[in-house]
Amino acid sequence: MEKKQRISIFTTASLPWMTGTSVNPLFRAAYLAKQDEERKVTLVIPSLSLKDQEHVYPDKITFNLPSEQEKYVHNWLEERTGFRSSFNIRFYPGKFSRDKRSILAVGDITEVIPDEEADIAVLEEPEHLTWYHHGKRWKAKFRLVVGVVHTNYLEYVRREKNEQVQAFFLKYINSWVVNIYCHKVIRLSAATQDLPRSIICNVHGVNPRFIEIGKKKNEQQQNGSKAFAKGAYYIGKMIWHKGYKELLKLLRDNQNDLIGLEVDLYRNGEDSAEVQEATKKLELTVRVHLGRDHADPLFHDYKVFLNPSTTDVVCTTTAEALAMGKIVVCANHPSNDFFKQFPNCRTYNDSKGFVEATRKALTKEPSPLTDAQRHELSWEAATERFLRAAELEQAPPLKSEADQAPSQKRLTKSSPKLFLSTSLSIKRRMEDASALAHFVRTALLSSQPDEDQRKKLGLAPPSGKWGPRR
């Protein structure tokens, strides 16, 4: 009897932290489970201490138990999709790194999935999940490991001190760990670095709410009503490298050509105070507001979404704005290649082009989306693209012990042909040596979950064994 396909999706963040690696893997899990009810999908997300939760999660939201957070995540998703998904949620111990502004895994997070359920692993941000991974080798535990690259880390590093040196080493490390741990890699756009065994494909969609908003706006346009009464806005985490530096420079350099332009900025972030102070130096009207959900009715009437960011890989808010029927003005950059197929996407190459695109967008009405264009933005289409890119639909079901690949079986004296084949596999041996080197290195850098984390998550005590378990 064939066993159903088991997919474990590991990601680096979770709701209520509203970041791309919280939201997109969550929707991926929901729509993979919905697309095939025989498929067993598990979303694996970080569990934080109360202290870290207070620092990371908005509106003072905290959870005493993982089960409380699991309920929150499922309810949030059901409210936005309109269906109750059948995927499971499991937690791994994590800690928030303030200097990296991100959550790091603690201990061997592969142990969250029992060996008998380890079939296909999807690593959302594979480099991030494996920088400090100290434990069982992903490609040894799982039959297929697919990485999905979300973040342009090299671009972030280039904006810091000693950027060239840091970028050089980070580029090497990313390629190293991805090669060790992933069979396939999906890069959302060409804005990310080239990685071993990688292809470019946008496998993200938009929350169905935004598509419904766009349909209503289309109806208003067809009825002759004024669908978009407001002008231009931008929503994004308020840190300088999320496009705010570029946007304010474009506005400052072109104030005389953009007289009368008013722009509203929405979001919370570490650089909010500095951004707000910078807007006061402009002659144009630029207002800074507290962050809100992009689906909030407050945003429905805006006509133009300005997004000059070049650090995103595929900007979620840009996709949402297009789905809502708005005109998007964005940089002619690899991160925006997917959006160029939509008539309401207006790209620019330089400062002059930004002015022309913005002025034209404010005087023209958006083109109504076709059904095919809406589908291309949806999670149904994104799931179809993911299955093709990862080749999951061609992947056989979970293998039994007897069917495992030779490279995963223990070598014995009774299998001389296997021994000869393996010993001659230079590539395999080099990869093994590389994995061992990474394991030894991370022994000095990685930390283990404390007793409270293990108890809360039901994890077994550490084995204390040395060497990469295979």
pLDDT confidence of residue 405: 41
- Taking only the tens place, the pLDDT of each residue in 152-164 is 776 766 666 566 6
- Taking only the tens place, the pLDDT of each residue in 294-341 is 999 999 999 999 999 888 899 999 999 999 999 999 999 999 999 999
- Contact in structure between 121 and 160 (CB atoms under 8 Å): no
Quick one: fold of 5-200?
Rossmann fold (3.40.50)
Query: Which residues in the chain come in under a pLDDT of 70?
Result: 1-3, 154, 156-165, 393-429, 435, 444-446, 462-470
Looking at domain 208-373, its CATH architecture is: 3-Layer(aba) Sandwich (3.40)
pLDDT confidence of residue 432: 74
- Contact in structure between 159 and 241 (CB atoms under 8 Å): yes
Closest by CA to 148, choosing from 180, 195, 102, 110, is: 195
Full strand arrangement of the beta sheet holding 230-235: 285-289, 262-266, 230-235, 302-307, 327-331, 345-348
Domains 5-200 and 208-373 share a fold: yes
Peptide bond into 16 cis (omega under 30): yes
pLDDT confidence of residue 424: 42
- Domain extents for the chain? 5-200, 208-373
pLDDT confidence of residue 333: 95
Q: Maximum CA pair distance of the chain?
A: 82
Backbone phi, psi, residue 339, to 5°: -80, -15
Amino acid in position 305: F
